[in-house]
Amino acid sequence: MMSNPLHPSQTLAYLQATARFIAEPQQPDGELRRLLREQYGIDARRLSRFTLLTLLGASPFSSPSRMAAMQQKLAACQPSPLDFMANLHNAATFQLAQILGSSGNSVFLAAYADDYLSPLYAALNEMLAMPQQTVLLGWIYEQAGQGEQEGSVWWQVSGSLPPQWHGWRISTAAINHTITAMPHQFAFLPAALVLEEQLYGRGRLLLPPHGIWPALQIGTLSASKIE
């Protein structure tokens, strides 16, 4: 049997920043488009609801220069020949890359309440292969039935330390840490929100072993700096 190449308390990456957008119950598409237009200058007339939820959550990571360039293009009434892509399955990642001015690989995963951590492990795989890159990791949910919570949650994960030690360190758990199971959730978005609630409420998040991954811990950098 192969031994795990990861060592206890080994740093894997840094969680530099988080953002979220949670829609109001039964909030109409027109209201979401208005928010995008007023807050970020984005013309969202042809975008699906899923893409609207994606952009509203992740737009805070956009650079001001990129947003200014987009606004100039809209003001000049320049044609946008790729509008027809707005309702394809990859529209959310395509539109997000355009708005953020990002480049590199993008992966769209279907996840459920019982495997909502799979996007995190996919991002960490990328970080192990290319430690100096920055990954924008998101959980997005559009309601399938009335009364469900919908919105998006975003993490900026990087191999570089965040400025002034503001953020969290993602590492393998120490041997003496007791890892408890995450609270079970029956809906996808609440499951993702639990991660942030524990990060901000306790300052630390412990994740049980998952597949080939050992137990992980995510803790505030201020605490890591003291230890």
pLDDT confidence of 2, banded at 50, 70, 90? Answer: very low
Q: What domains are defined for the chain?
A: 11-226 (3.40.47)
The residue whose two tokens read 């330390």 is: 161
Q: What average pLDDT score do residues 59-71 get?
A: 57
Each residue's pLDDT tens digit, 148-197: 889 999 999 999 887 777 899 999 998 655 555 555 566 778 888 888 88
